[in-house]
A and B are shown apart, each in its own frame.
Chain A
């Protein structure tokens, strides 16, 4: 009895595994170190006209801001569409549509973003929202699939217990199924975020902005400082977004699980 409660307590303390804790604390430190080193190089390096214009602090901040905006808005669009669709596809009567819809989402992820984004731009128009459409389609699958799979695997006796206490179907979803599914759904969201931050680099091709611009400029003008800075900044941004995803995942996990 007493040993049992001690284990329970130590379990509660170790809700964050050592590995998770390392990632949660280590990643921002790593990013800060890399960014700091890059900033020192930027401040001291001997750059020509084109390089210093492309790597001007204001320009870098604008591009990073655009990149982040593409990522965050893309993620919001994905969550706002994939989660409700995933929920709908696990309700009785809709289950048979789950396989075809996941199939379409699969195709969305299989198609190369660079192609899709350009096709959409030709069809619709250049700019931010077209990029969002292409990016969301690309990162739709992990959130949809995780939502469906986790909701399907909620212990049916728990759902029956919930119905047995007199909860309506909507209440069972809100108070039992979704909280239990939340950690896995958030893992899907983190995957989507990572996909988005990587593919947002293509935004620059259809004038939607983002850090991809640095790479394009670096390649076309043979300026490796610009090219490398672009790659480095994108990598750091991706790591930070992944970190933010982990924090979200942690916060979304209900206590007691």
Chain B
């Protein structure tokens, strides 16, 4: 087991609202079984980080998670949150201060979105006004328009929307610690990727302590500040940053679990922010069509990205589809696929597969448009990354023979993105 001492998030220096969680020699034995489900687990989860629990099914990762909010009680050992033994408080009281997000959202079908999100504030005795304001604030945060979604029932939402409400419910009372149990397991890959991106940007702002169980190593690498890989009995195989887990698996178990394609896994480590974005012409809703066309043509572009008042990309139109006096908002809610700068290269490639253009619009803070990630920009970054990796491992020559791109990258390594 390796444990890195430097926290990957200290450099961000924002206000951390999360707190530290410590497992001290935790054992959990279920009645009627001889093998403990969790066998002497000791672990420190630093404040303000996302720690991903991964491992094969039955390794005790979910049990370990549920012991933090006392849905399961340890047989022996203590868990502390911010230095306080979790058994010091009544379990119900404890849970009101620990966010809990589960697969599919698990929304209560007989309650509206507002009632679902307002549950914990209600239990904590907030007044109606404050709860209502908080609900709207959270809906905005998870990207759902409050006016539109507040009074809907869960079955009137898509899977991704339900999951967003589930996240909002977990954040409702602003708890320092949030537990997530396979949060994005029940949605399609594109939606999952968006939800992950959103979680990362929410986390950048809030800096909670998030403990998340997943069986998906890609998700762990993407979301985690640290990854905890568990074997049967919740024995720690490795607990480290994603970079170190991929670069230096602690043992063969981790190697097998992380998978053979470690070069491909680096796709999950590189973020879209590293890609050289293409400055595709953008026009705002309400702008004159003639102006827009003129600007695009002078830039040599045959299509424009349409932005709304908040500069969020809402559409990507060919020039011939631009008609009328002024640029209009897309008629029905057209779902333009965009990705955030926090998305991984893996996500970018996925999104491109379903895009109708050669690339995908990239959004930065507050979902503002920052440019387009083109297919060639992404692949050249991947090539140069792989090249760097091979150079460090010393087998570049063996792999490179007849690939022009690779030769180019070898010739000018200084031009490539430094990470």
The complex places the Cα of A160 from the Cα of B70 at a distance, in Å, of 11
Residues of B within 8 Å of A, CB-based: how many?
32
Task: Please list the 9 inter-chain residue pairs (A to B) with the smallest Cβ-Cβ separation, ordered nearest first.
Answer: A256-B153, A166-B96, A254-B110, A164-B100, A166-B95, A8-B156, A161-B106, A2-B332, A179-B110
Query: Contacts of A171 on B, CB cut-off 8 Å?
Result: 123
Least Cβ–Cβ distance between A125 and chain B, in angstroms: 45
- 8 Å CB interface, B332-365 against A: 332-333, 335
Contact B111 A167 (CB under 8 A): no
Contact B110 A180 (CB under 8 A): yes
Supplied contacts A162-B108, A165-B169, A255-B153, 4 more A-B pairs, CB within 8 Å:
A160-B106, A161-B106, A164-B71, A257-B155
Contact A180 B109 (CB under 8 A): yes
- 8 Å CB interface, A60-101 against B: none
Return the contact of B102 from the options A4, A8, A157, A254 (Cβ within 8 A): A157
Query: Contacts of B158 on A, CB cut-off 8 Å?
Result: 1, 4
The secondary-structure label for the interface of chain A is helix
- 8 Å CB interface, B287-334 against A: 332-333
Q: A54 in the interface, Cβ–Cβ < 8 Å?
A: no
- 8 Å CB interface, A233-257 against B: 254-257
Residues of A within 8 Å of B, CB-based: how many?
28
Q: B69 in the interface, Cβ–Cβ < 8 Å?
A: yes
Residues of A within 8 A of B (CB): 1-2, 4-5, 8-9, 11-12, 157-158, 160-168, 171, 175-176, 179-180, 254-257
Contact B156 A166 (CB under 8 A): no
Query: Contacts of A179 on B, CB cut-off 8 Å?
Result: 110
- Binary contact track B88-108/A, C-beta < 8 Å → 1, others 0: 000011111100101100101
Return the contact of A11 from the options B123, B155, B157, B333 (Cβ within 8 A): B155
The complex places the Cα of A164 from the Cα of B170 at a distance, in Å, of 10
A-B contact pairs, 18 of them (CB 8 A): A1-B333, A2-B332, A8-B155, A8-B157, A158-B106, A160-B71, A161-B102, A164-B69, A164-B95, A165-B96, A165-B100, A166-B123, A167-B92, A168-B92, A176-B108, A179-B110, A180-B109, A257-B109
In the complex, the chain A residue whose C-beta lies closest to that of B110 is: A254
Least Cβ–Cβ distance between B121 and chain A, in angstroms: 10
Contact A5 B156 (CB under 8 A): yes
Contact A157 B106 (CB under 8 A): yes
Q: B119 in the interface, Cβ–Cβ < 8 Å?
A: yes
In the complex, the chain A residue whose C-beta lies closest to that of B154 is: A256
The complex places the Cα of A256 from the Cα of B157 at a distance, in Å, of 11
The complex places the Cα of A163 from the Cα of B103 at a distance, in Å, of 15
